[in-house]
Structure 1
Amino acid sequence: MIYSPTRAVCMTGRYASKEEAKKKGNKINSVGWWYKTWFYQHAETALKKGLFVEYIPTREYYHRHTRCLYWEGKLILPFADQWWFRFLFGWLMPPKVSLLKATQGEAIRNYYHEMHVIQDILVPLYKVGDALEWVDREMEIYPLWLCPHKLYKLPVKTMVYPEAGFELQRRQGDTQDAQMFTDVGVYYAPVLC
């Protein structure tokens, strides 16, 4: 996740058995509890704390951004990430989008139509820097979500397919049968000048 042009957190992971996770001294972080800090904010603590290891149950890891709708929960309810709200009302998160739409006024609805961005940009790994510079220059939206994605060369061409001749370039992350891409997730409203 990228929090600004100069601040980012990189997470890596691997599956571990329950026995390994429960070994003395290992930290198990059940991020799915309603009162817990939202995951993107928890990950940001690595910028101050430095490298750390913790074990997150698989299902909770898969849904680590569900309660806060990535970071859009703060846009919907600006105080919803506060400890008192999470403790008292966090179990209500995430709110039903259909309920929110039914209760919003015309001004809010127009704001979302004109300003709100929900966009995933799939770019080859070697072009990620250019994509991040473009998002910063054109939208100034943070945080950004980055997710690696390997696109395989298949016998039948699909809608999203590796670039022609990628296997000859031997760029970082590419193999003979797959090209490395990155999903750049842009979800929020641009900074207003």
Structure 2
Amino acid sequence: MATKEEAFDWPWQYNFPPFFTLQTNADTQSKQIAAWCDLVLSYYRQSKQYILDVTEAQSSPLFHNAVINRKLPLEAVNVVLSSLERKGHVEWEDATKRTRCYVMWRTPEEWAALIFQWVASKGFTNTVCTYYDLHSGDDAADQEFFGMDLWMLKKSLRVLQTQGKAELMQGTQADDSDGGIKFFS
């Protein structure tokens, strides 16, 4: 059975040694950073990961190509993450230290739209769903948001609440994992 890294379709740049060195020419660097951003989002999307620990990044296959013995320097990793943050795809867990971040391969607004589209197609408007229904329920098993990190799910549902399409309901558990949401038509 193939590992996540073996199954991932690495772009051609990943095997090109200069890709792992931050380029000095502004135009080239801009294209390089854009390619790294695309790679990070694609990698996290396929592996359905959401958290990136910057201190461990260079040991990750994402930033370390063992075949060509190249690692993206930590400074360059931070440049890529800053670019993703400006585009709304990274949110820091610890904004001052910037050691752990959430990688949002879909923005909360994109997830909210997908979730609401599914809710409407299933006839779940004007009903209450639990976080479990959306995260692990049988009705959602074939959806891209199935198994989504609870943090990202809640963040996406808050977008729907802000849009007036839903109302979040507090759960009884300390982590609110048993909470729910009422969707409006």
Query: The TM-score by the shorter chain falls in which range?
Result: under 0.3
Hey, which of these two has a bigger chunk of helix by percent?
Answer: 2
TM-score (norm 2): 0.27
